[in-house]
């Protein structure tokens, strides 16, 4: 809850209102939905949303978004580590590990620091794989998208992982 509260304070309640309550009859785009998951810190669903987009319509943009989410998880873990927020690391681990109600009776376990290392190793490997797939589809488009995300990271050095670059959402 503290992490969600932190996100709300940073971004502002008005942004969350707009995205959390779409107008009746409208559906959120994959980018909007995944962006909302990033904002909430629900990285499992953000990954699932990107993976579903690739399954339904593979594209360089879809692979780059997936890679971006992996990078976001990595950066978020680094920030939590610097802040020594080990409870939040454990919560992230649980968010990524829990998928179904069976997990409530057979929960995955792990120490926070070990979980951080395991998650970071995995997301770094997977981000390399998805980035390579994006390049194979269209190197020029992939390069352009990564230039956009680099500008976004530079403009938001301590919070970039909470959202996609603005140009991706438009």
Does the pLDDT at position 35 exceed 70? yes
pLDDT at 4: 37
Taking CA atoms, 69 is separated from 21, 111, 151, in Å, by: 23, 23, 16
The predicted structure's pLDDT at residue 13 = 34
Domain spans of the chain, in order of start: 2-169
The predicted pLDDT at position 16 comes to 37
| Closest CA relative to residue 10, chosen from 93, 91, 87, 79 | 79
- Cα separation, 35 vs 15, whole angstroms: 11
Task: Dump strand ranges (E) for the chain.
Answer: none
**Does residue 22 or residue 97 have the better pLDDT?**
97
pTM, two decimals, is 0.69
- Given pLDDT bands bounded at 50, 70 and 90, which one contains residue 134? very high
Residue identified by tokens 């980018």 is: 31
Judged by phi (left if over 0) then psi (alpha if -120 to 50, else beta), residue 164 lies in beta
């Amino acid at each position: 809850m503290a992490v969600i509260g932190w996100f709300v304070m940073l971004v502002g309640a008005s942004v969350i209102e707009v995205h959390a309550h779409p107008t009746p009859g409208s559906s959120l785009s994959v980018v909007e939905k995944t962006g909302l998951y990033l904002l909430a810190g629900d990285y499992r669903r953000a990954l699932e949303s990107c993976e579903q987009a690739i399954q339904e319509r593979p594209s360089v943009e879809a692979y780059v978004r997936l890679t971006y989410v992996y990078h976001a998880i990595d950066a978020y873990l680094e920030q939590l580590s610097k802040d020594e927020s080990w409870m939040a690391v454990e919560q992230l681990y649980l968010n990524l590990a829990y998928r179904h109600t069976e997990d409530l009776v057979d929960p995955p376990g792990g120490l926070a620091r070990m979980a951080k290392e395991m998650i970071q190793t995995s997301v770094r490997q997977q981000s390399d794989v998805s980035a390579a797939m994006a390049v194979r589809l269209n190197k020029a488009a992939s390069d352009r998208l990564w230039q956009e995300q680099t500008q976004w990271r530079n403009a938001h050095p301590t919070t970039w992982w909470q959202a996609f670059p603005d140009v991706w959402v438009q």
